[in-house]
Amino acid sequence: MERLYRMLYPMRVCLITSRHEGKDNVMAASWVFPISMDPPLFGVSVSPKRHSYRMIKEGNAFGINLPGSDMEKAVTICGTKSGRDADKFLEAGLTKEEGARVPLIRECMASIECEVVSEIEAGDHTVFVGKAVKIVKRKEGEGLYQSADGFVSV
């Protein structure tokens, strides 16, 4: 099974932002994918163990932010610490840009804000399906990808 997973990498890493009861959070996620063009739907597969899971579920929205290859350190912080016990925006040096319902990340090359339209329980993860309500493109550059053994840029 592990060998099969390795075959699927490298995979683009995103930073998923969320907001609930006035608190903001951000986590790294590689299991992010487009689902439909019309309407524009995107999915993110989130383990219920993540603090972000509850934030997205309760807040009904999430942001998909695309980090560039220069953001490896910030992505590592967002993918290894939990928003339960850390302000990851502060620790990772990320600047919030206001979206309609969730914060977006100014340092990222692009952001897609999504409103949750459905949730699919899928094994040990839940797929949140979101409809894009705002798209911001800031700059071109190399994206950051998770390889089976770390990060690579493409």
- Give residues in contact with ligand FMN (CB under 6 A): 13, 25, 27-31, 45-47, 50-52, 79-84, 146
- Of 36 and 80, which has the nearer Cβ to ligand FMN? 80
- Of 38 and 108, which has the nearer Cβ to ligand FMN? 108
CA distance 35 to 150: 26
In whole angstroms, the minimum distance from the beta carbon of 22 to ligand FMN comes to 16
The strand ranges marked E within 1-154 are 11-12, 14-20, 23-29, 32-36, 41-46, 61-66, 96-98, 103-105, 110-122, 125-137, 144-147, 150-153
Sheet order of strands, 14-20 included = 23-29, 14-20, 61-66, 110-122, 125-137, 41-46, 32-36
- Of 1 and 38, which has the nearer Cβ to ligand FMN? 1
In whole angstroms, the minimum distance from the beta carbon of 115 to ligand FMN comes to 19
In whole angstroms, the minimum distance from the beta carbon of 54 to ligand FMN comes to 9
- Of 9 and 38, which has the nearer Cβ to ligand FMN? 9
